[in-house]
Chains A and B, each alone.
Chain A
Amino acid sequence: MNKFAKRMGLAALLATSALVPAKLAFADTPTNGGDIIVTYKDDIATLDPAVGYDWQNWSMINALFSRLVDYKPGTTELGPALADSYDVSDDGKIYTFKLHPGVKFTNGREVTAADVKWSIERAVNPKTQGPGAGFFHSIVGADKMTAGTADTMEGITAVDDHTVKFTLSQPDATFLNVLALNFASVVPKEAVEAANGDFGKHPVGSGAFTLKEWTIGQRLVFQKNADYFVKDRPHVDSFTVEVGQEPLVALLRLQKGEVDIAGDGIPPAKYLEMKKSAEFEGMIVDRQQLETSYVTLNTQVKPFDNAKVRQAVNMAINKDRIVRIINGRATPASQVLPPLMPGYDQNYKGYAYDPEKAKALLAEAGLKDGFSTQIYTSNTDPQPRITQAIQQDLAAIGVKAEIKAVANPNVIAAGGTQGQAPMVWSGGLGWIADFPDPSDFYGPILGCGSAVAGGWNWSWYCNKDIDARGQAADAMPVPAKAEERNKAWAQIFTDIQTNEAPWIPVFNERRVVAKSKRMGGPDEIYIDPTRVIDYEAIYVNK
């Protein structure tokens, strides 16, 4: 402990005497070894890669399993993983992958092309009840599988033990991203069957770690996979996830050195205090993520069926004030896409805050005296407070909005019921991208296909022309036309917002994680854009 403190002091000294490169070199060399402790408040629901879909288990599943392709740590850049190489046909419909030879599951058996086929079919099969099935829609045979009328997908073939071929019904520029999702993780059939419906508690994969112990309600111990096929990874010997830990207590334990990563971050009330305190310097990771928080304006409910009304309320919201309510942990948003997303338009300003103009626009729409409406919100702090600010802003232009603060599942239910919720504040349920591609912000939340009962398009926005433009963009081959495709998507999103304004984009929330001083590595592996925490890349400073 003493030695460690001295070292930290030395590092600080080096930094202050302008020997910055020396300090960087010190910080940039990952060292191996160490056992770390991570805390979360909620229990870990499951470690089944076909089922797990929350921000706690996402990074753990990611570390237990491997996929054909994967992102480089801390980036949105795709690279080879289980597949050494791949080949795309000229029409963009056939993808052929060559598997890295000799990769073994932790049960000792070699990973084959047949495992890849079986694993993805399992993720799509409705019997698995997984939330990822929809991502694989472009593979031939996915529709029959999701309808429950087929048990295999003809679009996936194991050509030989080390070659797997995907046939798509239409070109899909996001397909490689889809294959990097946890849902596309490769699992051994015999282990799934042996677990007898309990694979989520007894996971077997070929990833950087194996699950060594799971004591329900208390802890999960993940141990380094000594045979991991990626060289020099992972760095830590093990990480233990302690669940049921109240975030405030986790921070106290972090201060005492009992905890290395407080996974739930810092409660809003403590944020400013900790951020300003010298004691916590170097312990707070605060980064942007692929997230937009927004208010949906139901285009099928009066008076929001009128685009002028939607534009007017867009101008009524003082986003700077709302950001202050959450202690500045966000950046005001002008558009649907978050700034880190390809296709984000830096020059697009959206609707500036202008209550006078908003009132004039309302008058133009024949609503000089305003109107009454409802806004749904999650009932956990700080969402109701944010909604109150929105309510006050709306009152200033004569719109009386009644707040419906309900539990998260009920907000989702109200949003997905036709004609029910005029406005929904997405905070706490916000749209965090599944993968770094702009189309992920269209199809499931603004496309015609999702404007259905139980869908997530709570604006019930459906524009057939825009749908067609989106399809055309996704048919552009990537990476050959990536730039052009991003431009097309940028135009789609700004056109939607300028002409029809089905959303009020309010802010892009940052994620905050607290870590102990001994944890090394750049911030972006603690808030990784696709993995949340990158357990493979983090390390302990020696």
Chain B
Amino acid sequence: MAVFLARRLVQAVLILLGVAAITFLLLYYLPADPAVLIAGRSATPQMVAAIRHELGLDQPLIMQFLHYVGSLLHGDLGRSYTQKTEVLPLILARLPATLVLMAAGIVVEVALGLTFGIIAAVWRGGFVDRSIMMLSFVGVSSPQFVVALLLLYVFAATLGWFPMSGFGTARHVVLPALTLGVLGAGWYARMVRSAMIEVLRQDYVRTAHAKGLSGRRVVLSHALPNALLPIIAMVGIDIGQFMSGVVVVEAVYGWPGIGQLAWQAIQQVDVPIIMGVTLVSALAIVLGNLLADFIAPFVDPRIRSQ
């Protein structure tokens, strides 16, 4: 186990370095010149050159990159071009909101997905199954923007059950989490359904039924644990995805997450912020997958013995 973890950690560091290098290179070759954007419209070429020098953009690419990685090892993500402030505090300030939404979104989508997936599998082929599959299809193909605005209009603007915008209380998180959850639940429902159908066909399930166990007990205690593995892997992926920011949902609900920061930085070619957010997202994806790998053996003894 220790060897496995150590190997994954080394892999993680290499992945992060690779992500840093690729992002840096891509941003370097963008046609936009950050110094021109900072210097403004009244600047002379001399002023642009002076700012380029201040930012270290007049150095060769490899020096710029080494300098960046050097600072990174000291936990320094650099200073934002447009905000003229440290990048790390900007990201950290938005991290709580991102974490809350990530967790709440995953709870909703897994809860909905499991419930409907199991129901569909148990009554497969029937009207309920077909309705659920139909709904899940609508869910996965609905645009976030539409669903977010719809929920906001009905439950916040019209009914007034929830605040329209902001962050801070439990009531604020309901609609954003519901939007993510409803849209993501379709994937989970479909996956749970097919995994469960697979498992329900197994001999040991038939044995359990034959022993006279209640249907509920067979499904929940005997079949379900074996169908959970793909769900855990998927949660691992979702952690990474939600941590890298859910721009649309954040925008509609005024949610102060990382996505909005990234989106604005991209529009302004604020390279240090783009780099910082990319690295944090990459880290989250790596950690999410690591977590899934780590949990899997506890859920499925077959992996442990391998």
Contact = CB atoms under 8 A, between A and B. Distances in A.
A455 interface: yes
A115 B269 CA distance: 33
Given A200-B85, A244-B254, A216 B93 contact: yes
B85 A444 contact: no
Interface residues of A, number: 59
Nearest to A125: B50
Interface in B62-78: none
Given A132-B42, A133-B47, A413 B254 contact: no
A244 B250 contact: yes
Contacts of A135: 42
Given A134-B44, A449-B44, A127 B164 contact: no
Interface in B224-259: 250-257
Contacts of B7: none
Nearest to B266: A407
A45 B42 contact: no
A524 B86 CA distance: 37
Category for how many chain B residues contact A: 35 or more
A456 B45 CA distance: 11
Nearest to A256: B157
A327 interface: no
Interface stretch (B8-16, B26-34, B211-219): B26-34
Nearest to B153: A252
Given A132-B42, A133-B43, A48 B54 contact: no
A282 interface: no
B84 A217 contact: no
A454 B51 CA distance: 13
B47 A453 contact: no
Contact of A244 (B83, B84, B152, B260): B260
Contacts of B93: 215-217
A414 B48 contact: no
A133 B42 contact: yes
A41 interface: yes
A452 interface: yes
A249 B94 contact: no
B169 interface: no
B46 A252 contact: no
Given A245-B165, A258-B164, A216 B256 contact: yes
Given A245-B165, A454-B33, A147 B50 contact: yes
A118 to B, nearest CB: 18
B46 A46 contact: no
A244 B152 CA distance: 15
A249 B254 contact: yes
A456 B82 contact: no
A131 B54 contact: no
A409 interface: yes
5 contacts: A46-B84, A53-B40, A129-B84, A146-B44, A217-B93
The 9 closest A-B pairs by CB, nearest first: A131-B40, A134-B42, A217-B256, A409-B32, A126-B50, A216-B93, A454-B36, A413-B31, A244-B254
